[in-house]
Amino acid sequence: MIYKDFQDIKLSSLGLGAMRLPVIDGDDSRIDEEASMEMVAYAMEQGINYYDTAWGYHSGNSELVMGKALGRYPRESYYLATKFPGYDLANMDKVEEIFEKQLEKCGVEYFDFYLFHNVCEMNIDAYLDEKYGIFPYLMKQKENGRIRHLGFSAHGSYDVMKRFLDAYGEQMEFCQIQLNWMDWNFQNAKEKVELLKEHGIPVWVMEPLRGGRLTSLSEEHTQKLKELREEESAAAWAFRFLQAIPEVKVVLSGMSNMEQLKENIHTFSEDQSLTEKEMEALLGIAGEMLEKNILPCTACHYCVSHCPKGLNIPELLELYNEDRFTGGGFIAPMALMAVPDEKQPNACIGCRSCEAVCPQQIKISEAMSDFAKKMGK
């Protein structure tokens, strides 16, 4: 197992994410405890020492099961991470109640790592609002030794992350972002890594396989990779990409069965970072995949000044592209929650004034109509 230095401890480079544990009859709320216990036992045996859960994973049952599974081992033999569920604005005034319940559910007296969960467009104002007292409460728990390391996870834009860091960056010790070879450019992950580097904050990775999307490549793209590394699977390529980014300390993988766990542990048994040539090939495949699935908006903003409704068209097209490529998901709907009703995709009146000045000749009005339908509006 590869280990990375973080302050005065060594963390396994591969962490077990408890968002996609094995379940019974396809019901996400019914975790297969026996199978999960076996996976945790094998992970511990093979040197994984970082375990990541959260309040809402598996309808609230992930923390319970991980508490049981890890409770069989000496407390100092593993590092446990969970998060304050600020993705739900109804939780903002319940930080103490939730934190105490999380300790109870996990059966521990402290959390090694604790995060502000999912800092994004929808909740950034609430996270920064002093009336909720979230930040001072968590800092107090850190002072009392009930949180050993405090950080945050972010699905939001670069600008949202910057706002959070401007407010709390000096106290943040780590940050968990969606990072993979597809999002290196598509979701500006490269710029986000640079932003964190400027603040001296190491990177934790979530969605290294983009929910499994990066393990199902076309025959043509699979062959391109096989010509460079014959024995490596698509999943291994994704992890090798991350091994080449020095700012990355922990890569979280939500493994659903023992086969996935064993394969990933094998990949992390040694560092075989991608060469520059291999990185170029992988990012080239990303570009080809995106060309087939997204609209070629360059965010020139010519359209914005010609929109009678004042829509932020480049921002909406970016979210539309995310939704198209992912085939749904939560990022676009979540970001739209922060957009006023009069600036939503369904506010487009189809006048096509924007299209008359679009250098890429994008059929913007059709995209807005389709986006509105996908969002149920």
Q: What number of residues does the chain have?
A: 377
Residue recorded with tokens 């998901």: 329
pLDDT > 90: what percent of the chain? Answer: 82
Mean pLDDT over 66-81 rounds to 98
**Does residue 335 share a domain with residue 238?**
no
Domain boundary among 283, 312, 335: 283
The stretch 102-112 carries a mean pLDDT of 98
Which residue's entry shows tokens 């580097």?
197
User: Three-state SS for 32?
Assistant: coil
Q: What are phi and psi of 355, to 5 degrees?
A: -65, -30
The pair of structure tokens assigned to 196 is: 């964190």
Q: Which residues contact 377 (CB under 8 A, 6 or more apart)?
A: 344, 345, 346
Residue 112 structure tokens: 């090694």
Residues 64 and 200 in one domain: yes
Average pLDDT in the 195-210 region? 96
- Of 249, 283, 317, the last residue of a domain is 283
Q: How far does the chain reach from its first CA to its final CA, in angstroms? A: 48
CA distances from 15 to 1, 12, 249, 367 (A): 11, 6, 10, 39
Grade residue 12 by pLDDT with cuts at 50, 70 and 90. very high
Contact 89, 61 (CB under 8 A): no
Q: Whole-model pTM?
A: 0.85
- Segment 122-136, tens digit of pLDDT: 899 999 999 999 999
Q: What is the pLDDT, as a whole number, of residue 292?
A: 79
Whether 135 and 245 map to the same domain: the answer is yes
Q: Which tens digits make up the pLDDT trace of 232-283?
A: 999 999 999 999 999 999 999 999 999 999 999 999 999 999 999 999 999 9
Number of domains forming the structure of the chain: 2
Q: What is the pLDDT of residue 285?
A: 94
Q: Which residues span the domain enclosing 203? A: 3-283
Per-residue confidence (pLDDT) for residue 81, from 0 to 100? 98
CB 13 within 8 A of CB 43: no
Residues 168 and 275 in one domain: yes
